[in-house]
């Protein structure tokens, strides 16, 4: 395992329909790891061999002290113990923080964006302002950050818009990755009705574009093609139509210190208890190694099931 995703908050300033229920109950702050604890556990993972660290949420940039944490973790970039420090964001706060991210050694970020239509964006996010996200993307690019757009493919909402999104991203010089909606947590819409197989999307795109398979990877589960007509890269993340578990090199830590070695399993190891009962990192190392040793061979997603595969929301796990 060389890739750690750390959720630093379960809170978010959007309420995307496929990610959260409209009325979410967020965690008490006492249950959330503080900045020092997040630094300590992430640094222990790095000491054990993690080379890529991604901060997630919720929305990581709404977490108070987020830039303090990025600055602390940047020492591992300077030492050479960490190859990459990055984050996934919805982009609403990027205009404010892009320059700090670049200053602390972040080279690239993922921005989650499912539509370029302001009206659809408001509906999917339950009130979000698309202009803030686009301003954040512009600010990030101006600071020299590389951007990858993450788009969840939604059969009823953005299926016809996907070619436009791909062209827009490639026009910015950005990669874009399409993601099949994953059945995590109870939400107010049916994911069965929204499921769009990326096999079908690829077939459709290939009817008017030339797609060339690439031997390219960023450490995540996406498989990439080049769209010859735009010159850009397109990633496909297909947990349902094409299982990617065989190449998995990542684990996830929630903002409460629970380690999940598989996004699609109800596995959980409580590292917060170890953090708060012992100042000796040897116990923390042992707990991490024991959890990773029990990592499952594959996830349990089945889109045909009306109930979600797991009760926990993506925003809790770290999206």
pLDDT tens sequence across 231-256: 999 999 986 545 555 567 889 999 99
Mean pLDDT of the chain: 89
Q: Is 298 helix (H, G, I), strand (E, B) or coil?
A: coil
Q: Is 155 helix (H, G, I), strand (E, B) or coil?
A: coil
Domain extent, residue 161, equals 3-317
Average pLDDT over residues 126-141: 98
Q: Strand pairing of 175-180 and 146-153?
A: parallel
Q: Is 194 helix (H, G, I), strand (E, B) or coil?
A: helix
The number of domains in the chain is 1
pLDDT for residue 300 is more than 80: no
pTM over 0.75: yes
pLDDT of 190 = 54
Q: What is the phi/psi pair of residue 3, to 5°?
A: -135, 120
Assess whether the previous peptide bond of 58 is cis (omega < 30° from 0): yes
Residue 100: CATH number of its domain: 3.20.20.70
């Amino acid at each position: 395992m060389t890739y750690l995703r750390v959720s630093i908050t379960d809170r978010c300033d959007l309420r995307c329909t496929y990610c959260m229920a409209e009325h979410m109950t967020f965690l008490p702050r006492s249950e959330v790891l503080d900045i020092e604890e997040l630094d300590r556990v992430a640094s222990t993972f790095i000491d054990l061999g993690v080379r890529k660290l991604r901060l997630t949420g919720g929305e990581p940039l709404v977490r108070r002290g987020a830039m303090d944490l990025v600055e602390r973790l940047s020492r591992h970039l300077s030492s050479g113990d960490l190859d990459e420090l990055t984050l996934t964001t919805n982009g609403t706060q990027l205009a404010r923080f892009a320059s700090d991210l670049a200053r602390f050694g972040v080279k690239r970020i993922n921005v989650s964006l499912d539509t370029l239509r302001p009206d659809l964006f408001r509906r999917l996010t339950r009130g979000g302002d698309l202009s803030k996200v686009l301003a954040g993307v512009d600010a990030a690019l101006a600071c020299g950050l590389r951007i990858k757009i993450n788009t969840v493919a939604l059969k009823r909402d953005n299926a016809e818009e996907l070619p436009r999104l791909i062209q827009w991203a490639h026009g910015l010089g950005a990669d874009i990755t399409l993601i099949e909606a994953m059945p995590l947590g109870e939400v107010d819409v049916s994911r069965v009705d929204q499921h769009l197989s990326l096999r079908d999307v690829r077939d459709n795109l290939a009817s008017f574009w030339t797609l060339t398979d690439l031997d390219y990877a960023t450490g995540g589960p996406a498989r990439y093609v080049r769209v010859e007509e735009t010159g850009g890269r397109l990633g496909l993340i297909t947990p349902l139509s094409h299982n990617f578990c065989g190449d998995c090199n990542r684990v996830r830590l929630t903002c409460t210190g629970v380690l999940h070695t598989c996004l699609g399993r109800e596995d959980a190891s409580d590292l917060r208890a170890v953090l708060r009962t012992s100042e000796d990192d040897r116990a923390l190392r042992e707990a991490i190694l024991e959890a990773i040793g029990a990592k499952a061979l594959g996830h349990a997603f089945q889109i045909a099931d009306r109930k979600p595969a797991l009760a926990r929301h993506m925003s809790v796990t770290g999206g």
